[in-house]
Structure 1
């Protein structure tokens, strides 16, 4: 429990030092607590159980053994881990269970799409070469690297999950932004990566359309723990298939809640 907590906290502390903005002790404490309580306890139990389970059906060190572990980690632990993170962070920030549900409904799939783009490769090497008792340490080590150093020169990492029509899964593009940039800059970077015109890209955050007059980049980054988070987007070159459904408001499009849909 101690090592994951220290590593998570250290990674966030280094990230904040690199960003050269006033240190946020609350943010660091949140990340450290999550690392200790979830990664340290649940993560440790998961890797032990996963190793024992796969040894019953495959020979350790084989492609089937490693591949089975990666698949199970991605399909089972991945969604559980992301949902737990959203739940803990939302509640710590003063949110309600309703806020947790809204967060999971709108952000779980985009966050998982971003994770699938990175972690299976890391975990394949981890499960292949590293003894089970050290696998959680490797994962937390990569978390430190991502949190601390990915923001150094290239800016804060954001994954944009762009859905086009009824096509699935969404096209995931990675961009880097700095505090002094704007939401307009974010849209331009994402549109360029996706190969579409900027006016054909529609961004969403937490179930509402992300408009330039709602946030500046500094506020957006600070609300989402600075780096490595996801935003949903729609490619308007085809009729958008909004999921969850949305409705128009004076402030832009917002996701229709389950209660509204049932009414």
Structure 2
């Protein structure tokens, strides 16, 4: 394991972008296998849905694994690499904040949550919609259904993850750190997508709408 880690460090030093792209694709592919398992066994336990395939054995959908891996290769890897590198330089050099300080970490977490987090979710749900053969209207409907609930729920988790990331993890390893948490996150997003128009989604949306109405009133 130590030898593998040293090999990864060497690859990251020599080919930083390529290494981030490949590792992101592989990790997201592995995460999708986990997500498929979660989706399968969750659906199997939903007894009120009498589906004819509910007793089928779990089988990996390799096409979907490839599709999700491509998201890691094409978006998370390159965009994530330049995002974390650029975010660090911007806060250190432009805002001139002391690295690892409370303000430094808090600003990073805030910008990551406001900019990259929503963008990542938007691209993910849009890409996964089109990759399954949906038309634009169906993709838009899916994004409207899943984006806000996912953003609200992840908003309570990712800031904690990113505080540790920005405080203790060197910049060059921050995307790798995030990708490993994405093993869990991809399962979560898959579960979100599978829930369709579940009651709890409607409840979350109603709270947001009520808050907006109060602010407007």
The two structures have a TM-score, normalised by structure 2, of 0.67
1:30 aligns with 2:67: yes
> How far does residue 106 in structure 1 lie from its aligned partner after superposition?
2.8
1:205 aligns with 2:174: no
Match of 2:10?
A: none
> How far does residue 242 in structure 1 lie from its aligned partner after superposition?
9.0
CA–CA distance in 2 between the matches of 1:27 and 1:7? 14
> How far does residue 233 in structure 1 lie from its aligned partner after superposition?
2.7
RMSD of aligned residue pairs (Cα, Å): 3.1
The structure with the largest helix share of the pair is 2
Alignment of 1:49-198 (within 5 A): 49-55=86-92, 56-57=94-95, 58-146=97-185
Cα pair distance change 1:32/1:107, threshold 3 Å: same
CA–CA distance in 2 between the matches of 1:111 and 1:51? 26
Unaligned runs of 5+ in 1: 151-155, 160-203, 212-230, 244-263
> How far does residue 234 in structure 1 lie from its aligned partner after superposition?
2.6
CA–CA distance in 2 between the matches of 1:95 and 1:59? 47
CA–CA distance in 1 between the matches of 2:152 and 2:71? 21
1:234 aligns with 2:203: yes
Secondary structure of the corresponding residue to residue 99 of structure 2: coil
Structure ranking higher on relative contact order (CA contacts 8 Å, 6+ apart)? 2
CA–CA distance in 2 between the matches of 1:13 and 1:126? 25
Match of 2:82?
A: 45
1:12 aligns with 2:3: no
